[in-house]
Amino acid sequence: AQKITQTQPGMFVQEKEAVTLDCTYDTSDQSYGLFWYKQPSSGEMIFLIYQGSYDEQNATEGRYSLNFQKARKSANLVISASQLGDSAMYFCAMRETSSGGSYIPTFGRGTSLIVHP
């Protein structure tokens, strides 16, 4: 079973509108972390935002916010006031503990976001 599921292979949004990118996760750990990364067409991976499983407040970083619903095991990324430069692939990732006690990162398959002018 996939540990990180991103059900939207592609999303379109009008410039200046808000958009939500979905992410659900599967873990039995009590302590875990959730991340979002952006990969523009140039290929580099850019860290956007982090949410710890024990953080009670939703994480925010500028125009990015993470809608964390622990009971539903979802960690959706909300981008407010979309810009043309937001067009990219977006990856949701989770850090959880392996059976050996180390921390293993797992990435979803990504969502392609296109921002229209």
Which residues of the chain form contacts with other proteins (CB under 8 A)? 33, 35, 37, 43-47, 50, 52, 91, 95, 98, 100, 102-110
Q: Which residues contact 58 (CB under 8 A, 6 or more apart)?
A: 51, 65, 66, 67, 68
> Between 25 and 91, whose beta carbon lies closer to other proteins?
91
In whole angstroms, how far apart are CA 1 and each of 55, 61, 94, 100? 26, 31, 14, 20
- Residue 102 CB, shortest distance to other proteins, in Å, is 4
- Residue 109 CB, shortest distance to other proteins, in Å, is 5
- Residue 116 CB, shortest distance to other proteins, in Å, is 25
- Residue 78 CB, shortest distance to other proteins, in Å, is 18
> Between 85 and 100, whose beta carbon lies closer to other proteins?
100
Q: Which residues contact 35 (CB under 8 A, 6 or more apart)?
A: 47, 48, 49, 50, 51, 92, 93, 94, 95, 105
> Between 102 and 117, whose beta carbon lies closer to other proteins?
102
SS3 72: coil
